[in-house]
Amino acid sequence: MKLRLTFYGVIIFVVAMGLHMTCALLMLILKMTSGDILYPVLQAVVETTFIFTISGLFLGVIMVLIELLYIKKDNRIVQNDPVSASEKLTVVLTAYNDELSIRDAVRDFQAHPRVQRVIVISNNSKDRTMEFAAEAGATVYNETLQGYGACVYRALTEGINQTDTKLTLLCEGDCTFRAHDIEKFLAYLPHADIVNGSRIVEQLRTGGSQLTTFMYYGNFFVGKLLEFKHVEQGTLTDVGTTYKLCRNEALQKLLPHLSPKVNLEFNPYLLDTALEMKMKIVECPITFYPRVGVSKGGNKNNLVAFNLGIRMISGLIFRWKTN
Ligand SMILES: Nc1nc2c(ncn2[C@@H]2O[C@H](COP(=O)(O)OP(=O)(O)O)[C@@H](O)[C@H]2O)c(=O)[nH]1
Ligand SMILES: [Mg+2]
């Protein structure tokens, strides 16, 4: 069993320091004196959290330093499995009541020369998503188990069911991600089992997209927690992107370890599980555009995103909850 000292160190440090600063600030703002009722409670919190802050700092920062020194001696080999220039990919798009965007999304991917086919997975859509997707030229399936996780799981399953392609490109049918990033994904693929899109490159985030600055940094923070959990395995900045290119060989191994019942946290859950299985995940900067149609996921507003972030952190520390 792994000790994950860096990961727990960072968690202890952040929580303890947050509490420590809040209570100390409260005592200062309220100009508390030893006579106040709350004074002994807050003082006890300030003192205890100070000890935890130092312990967290020791575990986190010191372990990072030790690990950095250790890495120098590590003869890591960078994977380099070239992909043939004629290799085609199957695109799988999630769609839940996305009639406003699905046609354009399908056409965008279908027009790309490396795309063999586009499959759309509707998730009990009540609108004309399935009809419009088929009209635009996609193969369409309906996933009856409701939820983002179930939809993504089905999409990846349909991806590996295609015997004439070895690569599955997972994306959403809401026009937030575009086919012109396929070249970028392919450029990183020799070094990875899964190339995960990252929206955390400021210059590639279109104004008016769903990713607010709050979500941008929140994602980055949770991405770093995931990185610390699997320290030395990869650089991770974004835990919320659906857009990713996967080798079917890797998906065949990974899917049996995943539950489609994990819902909006499915993406960090997938990454966490793949890293646990020592798969190679490399991030690739991608562009992010405004959504066409109404959001149904964690990008509705900052409060929804905050709650989702807490659920993601809880999944990383404890276990991934199925709904
Ligand atoms: N939230 C949610 N999304 C679903 C569901 N089924 C499929 N999806 C699709 O999964 C994606 C959710 O992505 P996300 O960016 O988190 O939310 P968005 O703002 O609605 O796009 C979209 O493509 C949805 O159409 C579901 O039951 N709930
Ligand atoms: Mg979306």
The CATH number of residue 191's host domain is 3.90.550.10
pLDDT in the model for residue 1: 61
- Determine, yes or no, domain membership for 323: no
- Determine, yes or no, domain membership for 307: yes
DSSP SS3 for 223: helix
Q: Residue 106: which of 143, 139, 128 has the closest Cα?
A: 139
Examine the domain organization and report whether 104 and 42 are in the same domain: no
The answer, yes or no, to whether residue 323 has pLDDT greater than 80, is no
Q: Worst-scoring range by mean pLDDT, 52-66, 123-137, 151-165, 267-281? A: 52-66
Give residue 172 CA to ligand 2 midpoint distance, Å.
6
Cα distance between residue 60 and residue 66, in whole Å: 10
Ligand 1 pocket, residue 199 CB under 6 Å: no
Examine the domain organization and report whether 296 and 232 are in the same domain: yes
Strand (E) positions, the chain? 89-95, 115-122, 139-142, 167-172, 194-198, 244-247, 281-285
Cα distance between residue 82 and residue 253, in whole Å: 20
Percent of the chain exceeding pLDDT 90 equals: 81
Examine the domain organization and report whether 130 and 46 are in the same domain: no
Examine the domain organization and report whether 93 and 65 are in the same domain: no
Average pLDDT over residues 170-174: 98
Q: Could you list which residues have their CB under 5 Å from ion ligand 2?
A: 172, 174, 176
Whether residue 95 contacts residue 297, with contact meaning beta carbons closer than 8 Å, is answered with: no
Ligand 1 pocket, residue 297 CB under 6 Å: yes
- Banded model confidence at residue 87, pLDDT cuts 50, 70, 90: very high
Cα distance between residue 239 and residue 264, in whole Å: 11
- Determine, yes or no, domain membership for 79: no
- Determine, yes or no, domain membership for 274: yes
Examine the domain organization and report whether 95 and 69 are in the same domain: no
Q: Worst-scoring range by mean pLDDT, 170-179, 181-190, 231-240, 297-306? A: 297-306
What one-letter code names the amino acid at 118?
Answer: V
Whether residue 160 contacts residue 168, with contact meaning beta carbons closer than 8 Å, is answered with: yes
Q: Residue 222: which of 263, 186, 267 has the closest Cα?
A: 267
Whether residue 240 contacts residue 203, with contact meaning beta carbons closer than 8 Å, is answered with: no
- Cα–Cα distances (Å) from 155 to 94, 114, 168, in that order, read 7, 19, 9
The answer, yes or no, to whether residue 63 has pLDDT greater than 90, is no
pLDDT in the model for residue 189: 98
What one-letter code names the amino acid at 83?
Answer: V
pLDDT in the model for residue 5: 82
pLDDT in the model for residue 73: 63
**Which residue puts its alpha carbon closest to atom 14 of ligand 1?**
297
pLDDT in the model for residue 74: 66
Give residue 99 CA to ligand 1 midpoint distance, Å.
13
- For the CA of 299, the closest atom of ligand 1 is 19
Ligand 1 pocket, residue 267 CB under 6 Å: no
pLDDT in the model for residue 72: 61
The answer, yes or no, to whether residue 294 has pLDDT greater than 70, is yes
Average pLDDT over residues 286-302: 91
Cα distance between residue 287 and residue 285, in whole Å: 7
Cα distance between residue 297 and residue 187, in whole Å: 30
**Which residue puts its alpha carbon closest to atom 12 of ligand 1?**
297
DSSP SS3 for 195: strand
Average pLDDT over residues 63-87: 81
pLDDT in the model for residue 96: 97
Enter the pTM of the model: 0.92
Number of domains the chain is built from: 2
pLDDT in the model for residue 71: 63
Cα distance between residue 286 and residue 98, in whole Å: 22
The answer, yes or no, to whether residue 256 has pLDDT greater than 70, is yes
- Banded model confidence at residue 278, pLDDT cuts 50, 70, 90: very high
- Determine, yes or no, domain membership for 18: yes
Examine the domain organization and report whether 157 and 28 are in the same domain: no
Residues in CB range of 29: below 8 A, 6 or more apart: none
Q: At what angle do helices 148-161 and 266-276 cross, to 10 degrees?
A: 50
Q: Worst-scoring range by mean pLDDT, 62-66, 145-149, 171-175, 254-258? A: 62-66
Whether residue 173 contacts residue 133, with contact meaning beta carbons closer than 8 Å, is answered with: yes
Q: At what angle do helices 63-73 and 5-29 cross, to 10 degrees?
A: 150
Domain boundary among 73, 103, 130: 73
Average pLDDT over residues 286-292: 97
Average pLDDT over residues 279-283: 98
pLDDT averaged over the chain? 94
The CA-to-CA distance between both ends of the chain, in Å, stands at 27
The answer, yes or no, to whether residue 232 has pLDDT greater than 90, is no
Domain that holds residue 67: 5-73
Examine the domain organization and report whether 16 and 64 are in the same domain: yes
Examine the domain organization and report whether 41 and 188 are in the same domain: no
Average pLDDT over residues 230-247: 95
Candidate from 91, 92, 93, 96 with most ligand 1 atoms within 8 A of CB, to mutate: 96
Average pLDDT over residues 184-204: 97
Examine the domain organization and report whether 193 and 69 are in the same domain: no
Ligand 1 pocket, residue 241 CB under 6 Å: no
Examine the domain organization and report whether 100 and 20 are in the same domain: no
Average pLDDT over residues 209-222: 95
Examine the domain organization and report whether 99 and 49 are in the same domain: no
Ligand 1 pocket, residue 291 CB under 6 Å: yes
Examine the domain organization and report whether 133 and 186 are in the same domain: yes
Tell me the helix, strand and coil percentages in the chain, rounded to 5.
50, 15, 40
